[in-house]
Amino acid sequence: MLRPEVQAPPDLFYNEAEARKYTTSSRIIEIQAKISERAVELLALPNDGVVDLGSVVKLYLKMDTIGLAMIFLSLC
């Protein structure tokens, strides 16, 4: 089986059906959860259930959008 990046550009390969397979994959969900947990550990944020939007904006200026989205979603 060819790798997705060889088969077609991302905007063509990840049509609705492929995107659904990707987003519902238990393996992908597990990997994303581990990455998010590790990112939160590295940020050393207090675990009080409160999201400081000022800190999120500061992070946005330093990080790529996908990394920030993963961290933000793990905090919600």
pLDDT per position as a tens digit, 24-33: 899 988 888 8
Q: Residues in the chain, how many?
A: 76
Per-residue burial over 28-56, b if 16 or more Cβ lie within 10 Å, else e, is eeeeeeeebeebeeeeebeeeeeeeeeee
10 Å Cβ neighbour count for 14?
Answer: 16
Domain coordinates in residue numbering, the chain: 14-75
26-61 tens-digit pLDDT: 998 888 888 888 877 877 766 676 767 777 677 666
